[in-house]
Structures are given as C-alpha cells and as structure tokens.
Structure 1
Amino acid sequence: MSATPPVLALPEASDDLSARLTDGLERVERMIHERARNDDEFITEANLHLAQAGGKRFRPMLTMLIAELGEGVNDAVVAAAAGVELTHLASLYHDDVMDEADLRRGAPSANARYDNSTAILVGDLLFGTASDIIADLGADAVKIQAQTFIRLCSGQIRDDRPCPAGQDPREYYRGVLADKTGALVATAARYGAMYSGSSPELVELATEYGERLGIAFQLADDLIDISSESGETGKTPGTDLREGKRTLPVLNALASTDPADAELQELLGSQLKDPARIDRALELLRAHPGLAAAREETLAMGRDAVEALAPLPASDAKEALIALMEGVVHRVG
C-alpha cells in the first residue's frame, strides 16, 4: 500500500484536528486499497495505478473536515469519503482516454500504461466499486451517488462539445464546471455532514459550500494551465490550449472588442499544435485583462463558498474550511 498523502496545508488547524484528519485519511486510504483489490493481480494493479500515483485526496479531506462540524469522523464518514475518492479516480481514467494523455500525477496515464479499452473498463470497475461502498450507507446515499454521477458525466460531455449557438459561452462554461467538478465536491461535503449526525440545515449549508469550492477549484486549474511555468506544477503549461479547450481566461479574451487583441484571438481561434504558436498565445494571455478577470472570479467564488459558512459559530473546523478555500484559490499546482 502506498503512503497516505500528506494533509493539505491548513495553517488554521490545531494539532488535534490535524491528527484526526491524518487518522481519517489513513482509514480512507486503507479502504480504497482493500476494496480495489481483485483476485486477478492485473486488475488489482490497474485499479490501484492512479491511487498509488499520489494526489491530494482533497475530496475525502473535505468530507472529514465537514464531519468535524457534526459529531466527528466515524465508519460511515470514512466509507463515504472512500466512495467519493474512488468515483473521482474512476473519472480520471476516462478523462485520460478522452484527452489522449500520456501522464497523470507524474506517472504514465492508465491509457498509456495499458490501452484505451483497459483504462475505460478499469474506470467503470472503480465506479462500480465506489457504488458498492456507497450502497452500504443506505438508499439516500445511493440516490445522491446516482445524481452526482449523472451531473459529472453530463458536465464532461458538455465540456467536450462547443457551446450551442445562442448561448453565452462563459455562462455555458460555468455550468460545465458546476457539473463536472462542483457536483462531486458538493457530495463529498454533503456526505460528511449527513453521516456525522448533522442537522438538515447543516447538510444544506455544507453542500452549498462544497459546490462553490469545487467550482473555485476548477477555475484555479484554468489559471494554473496558463500562468504556471514549465516544471513548476509537474504539468505542461498550455495543455488546455493544445486540446482546444476554451477555459474562462480564453473565453474572456475571445469576448474582447479591443482591436489590439486581434493576434491573440486569431491564435485562440485556430488549432494550436505548433509549440511556438502556443508559447505566443500563452505570452499574450498572461498579459491580457481576461486572465485577471478570471482570477478575480476564482477569488469571488471562494468568497461565496466561505459565505455559505457564515451561520456557523466559530470553531477550529470552520477556520480550517476557510483555510482550505484559501489554499484552493491561491494554489499553483
């Protein structure tokens, strides 16, 4: 079994809270490895390929933190967190096939390590494993898992297609982000509240915080792909541009009516495959007001997430959730 990923930096968390989070994540990690094992050694290896490649375990940590607002972490909270993380991991197998990716978390992607068919089937298997875990939590959890899966897949489908005629491309993209990323992060938070004995009001509050945090997380990814330098994040800058994805900074630049943006808009409107043209597009985007506007929208979404927590009394867990938001919107990788 791989080592438990370190808890994300939460400077507002007390030593006791950090210790409980670490213990909870270790339990989640053990469950992921136990439930991903199969009698066939190849299937076990493929199931665990991305889990062992690392990752922040952002979603299960959110489940643990939200549980701290209630009665704390228990077996049901751990199971819910493991189910959410396996759902996330499963989606990465499918993402890498769609994106024709070669690397994931610094390791060969599943489709590169094996092949597309295997990667798709392993993703399906992990979705099944996640659902099997969630089913033990009862009918409500199963319903939420199904609804989340519908939104996640709908978001991915729409992300892979152009904005329909007559719709605002930026509004369309915000809806894509809410479904493809916000939905699962919202469910991670919702489960943390549900299975720690929280009130219906707290469950609703936690879900709203999670959805907004998930959108902010994906918006930050948009920024990182443009503003990071090679080697800074382990990712190649401009990956979204190469794949033809129109993220928020790109959409902002395309919406400009300033004649000075003609060169950038020509680059963004073409298939960017030539490294020199990609580098030029990145240079122009980094200096464009559309990037600053996207950054401000990311920060505003983070503030909206924290606003959802306003009715809660002060606590170590609340401060840690605020710190988590700050880490999400200001991260560089």
Structure 2
Amino acid sequence: MGVVVSLDEGKRGQASIKPLIELTAHDMSRVNQLILSKAGSDVEMIPEVANHLISSGGKRLRPMLTLATARMFDYSGDGHVKLATSVEFMHTATLLHDDVVDESGLRRGKKTARTIWGNQASVLVGDFLLGQAFRMMVEVGSIDALDILSTAASVIAEGEVMQLVAAKNLETTEDEYLAVIRAKTAALFSAAAEVGPVIASATRSERAALRSYGTNLGLAFQLIDDALDYGGNASDLGKNVGDDFREGKVTLPVILCYRRGTAQERRFWKKSIEDGVSDDGALEEARGLMSRYGAISDTITRARHFGEIARDALAPLKETPQKSALLEVIDFCIDRVS
C-alpha cells in the first residue's frame, strides 16, 4: 500500500505563531511564574507530576489566546494572567486524564505521567490543577468569566464521555464525531478566546466574535491533528504518529475511509480498530487506504472550512496587532500539514 496523501508535498506555509508569541511574551512570562507557583504543594508528588507535563514543551496556544484577546480591547489589569493560567491548568488536567483513559505511554516524546506515577496519581493531580484553576477564576471576580470557563469544564468532561462511548465504534457518523471534538477540544479554545474580551468589557457582539473564532479554530486544530496522526511527524503532533490508530481511536479520517471502502476493507478496519490488530504493517495498510479514498485530504478540506469561519468571525472587529496575529494563527494551525 502507498503512503497517505502527500502531507510532505510542497514547502511548509509561511504562517507563523511568532507574532502571537511576541505580542504576549511579557504576559506569558507572568503566566509561567504563576503556573509554577500554583502547581506547588506540600504534597511532594503533586508538583512532580504537574511539572512533568507542564514542562513538556507545548506551545501554550490557549493561554496566549486569552492574553491576546484581553489586550485586543485595551485591558490593563492582571485578571487576564490569572485566567490564562486557569486555561492552561484546565488543558493540562485534560491531558493527564486523557492519557489515563487512552492508556497512552508517550506524550511529546516523553513518558506520560501515568506510566511513571500511575493512573491514580495522574487523575488526582489533574483534579488538583482543576481546583487551582477555579480558585484563580474566583480571584478575578468576574462572574461572566467564571461562568464561561466552568461551563467549558463541564462540556469538556461531556466530550470525554462521548468519546469513551464512541470508542472503537466504526458506525460513528461524521456529525457525531464533530460533536465530540466540539465538546472535547473546541470548547476550551472558545472559552480561552472569550474570557479575555469579557474582563476587558467588550461588547456582546465582540465577545460572540471571539467565541466563534475560538470554536472554529479548535475544530480546525483537532481535524489537522487527526490528519497528522496518519501522515505528520511527532514534533507537529505532540505525540507519536500513529498513536490514534494504535489506540483504536475512531477519528474523521477513519470514519471517511471506513464508509467509502469495500466490505473487505471494512473488515480490515474492524480488525484494526475494534480487535486491536494495529501493528506497523496494519498502520501502513491504513495509510494506503486513506490515500486511495482521499480521507486525509478531505479531513484537511474540512479543517480549512472551519478555519475560514474563524477568519470571518474576526472580520467585523477593529484592526489591531492582536487581530492580525489571531488571523495568522489560523493559517499556522492548518499549515502544519504542509
């Protein structure tokens, strides 16, 4: 079987996350200090487990969204730093819980916390970080911001359960899958982008614009991750290529390929996803089938669609350096497959 569509064809796009990093650099240094402070505990295992994941090299895109969108509306307090740290802790807690549910061994090339300290410690430290996140939200004193982030936490948990129910279910529809990632991934992007404008006293329509931006950026981001699992590299993905396949995850490329294939090919997917026969040979066959049926290219097309919705959401907002950086983030997320 041949390799998937050419994720390697052509040169990587010119879009960069650098403008966002530069605009938020000063505030992110404060976030990083607060992360270290709030991840501390007299219980020795808590900072060990938390720092293992926090220091693993992620780009921290979500907290940067909160910082940038607050500054976009001339916010001058320090609440955005606490909310951005809350967002990062929510994300970190989700990763700790995800790795337990998925029984993952590696994340960004490092052993997962669960493989070092065990499942119980990973779940409990995740809960600790969620608790710290909510304490910081309360300190900010914005009921609206607390409502947005607490609602996101609930929706994310629902998304995790939805994914668990759909695990290894090859009859999952595209709409059902999009509902899962809208809850599991896009909800936190949406909340991260909206809480900044909230504490900056932005108008209802401005808040709605950033909420839509975050939601659709999150959907695009996750769909590109789905595509990268079958044809990217570990540095772009933040985990090993093929992990979704080996863990039996039913992602959009699998859904499309399963529905478009022959009866014999569907038996292959059942054997690989449902029965766990997912060695390197099976992965190569899966990649070949995806190439045959255009499953990766169509997943990328859908990601671009959500990226355009995110772009349109920002269109009515005033021109600022932050808006320009947020627009470039859309292209950066999608260009990871270039």
TM-score by length of 1: 0.89
Deviation at 1:263, TM superposition (A): 4.7
> C-alpha distance in 2, partners of 1:324/1:91?
22
Q: 1:40 maps to what in 2?
A: 43
Check conservation: 2:80, 2:199, Cα contact below 8 A. Answer: yes
Q: 2:312 maps to what in 1?
A: 307
Instruction: For 1:1-333, list aligned pairs within 5 A.
Output: 9-10=16-17, 13=19, 19-72=22-75, 74-138=77-141, 139-162=143-166, 169-229=173-233, 233=237, 235-256=239-260, 259=262, 262-270=263-271, 271-332=276-337
Check conservation: 2:311, 2:327, Cα contact below 8 A. Answer: yes
CA gap 1:179/1:266 in 2 versus in 1, 3 angstroms: same
**Alignment-mate amino acid for residue 184 of structure 1:** L
> C-alpha distance in 2, partners of 1:151/1:294?
24
Q: 1:4 maps to what in 2?
A: none
Helix, strand or coil at the partner of 1:161:
helix
Q: What does the per-residue CA deviation read over 1:27-67, in whole Å, with 9 as the maximum and x for residues that have no partner?
A: 11111111111123332222222101121101011112212
Helix, strand or coil at the partner of 2:229:
helix
CA gap 1:234/1:181 in 2 versus in 1, 3 angstroms: closer
**Alignment-mate amino acid for residue 311 of structure 2:** V
TM-score by length of 2: 0.87
> C-alpha distance in 1, partners of 2:91/2:151?
15
> C-alpha distance in 2, partners of 1:250/1:168?
10
> C-alpha distance in 1, partners of 2:152/2:239?
28
Aligned pairs, how many?
Answer: 318
In structure 1, stretches of 5+ residues that fail to align are 1-7
Helix, strand or coil at the partner of 1:286:
helix
**Alignment-mate amino acid for residue 9 of structure 1:** S
Deviation at 1:230, TM superposition (A): 6.8
Q: 1:5 maps to what in 2?
A: none
The alignment yields a C-alpha RMSD, in angstroms, of: 2.3
Deviation at 1:283, TM superposition (A): 2.4
CA gap 1:93/1:311 in 2 versus in 1, 3 angstroms: same
Helix, strand or coil at the partner of 2:157:
helix
> C-alpha distance in 2, partners of 1:182/1:116?
26
Deviation at 1:315, TM superposition (A): 2.6
**Alignment-mate amino acid for residue 323 of structure 1:** E
Check conservation: 1:35, 1:129, Cα contact below 8 A. Answer: yes
Question: Which stretch shifts more, 41-50 or 27-36?
Answer: 41-50
Q: What does the per-residue CA deviation read over 1:221-271, in whole Å, with 9 as the maximum and x for residues that have no partner?
A: 101101125777563322111111111111111221x64xx4542221223
Check conservation: 1:223, 1:291, Cα contact below 8 A. Answer: yes
Check conservation: 1:71, 1:198, Cα contact below 8 A. Answer: no
What percentage of residue pairs aligned between the two structures are identical? 32
Q: What does the per-residue CA deviation read over 1:129-179, in whole Å, with 9 as the maximum and x for residues that have no partner?
A: 1111111123333222221111001001111222899x9611000000100
Question: Which stretch shifts more, 310-319 or 24-33?
Answer: 310-319
Deviation at 1:197, TM superposition (A): 2.9
**Alignment-mate amino acid for residue 297 of structure 1:** R
> C-alpha distance in 1, partners of 2:236/2:150?
37
Deviation at 1:20, TM superposition (A): 3.8
Question: Which stretch shifts more, 268-277 or 23-32?
Answer: 268-277
Check conservation: 1:148, 1:187, Cα contact below 8 A. Answer: yes
Check conservation: 1:222, 1:249, Cα contact below 8 A. Answer: yes
> C-alpha distance in 2, partners of 1:286/1:42?
45
> C-alpha distance in 2, partners of 1:23/1:81?
13
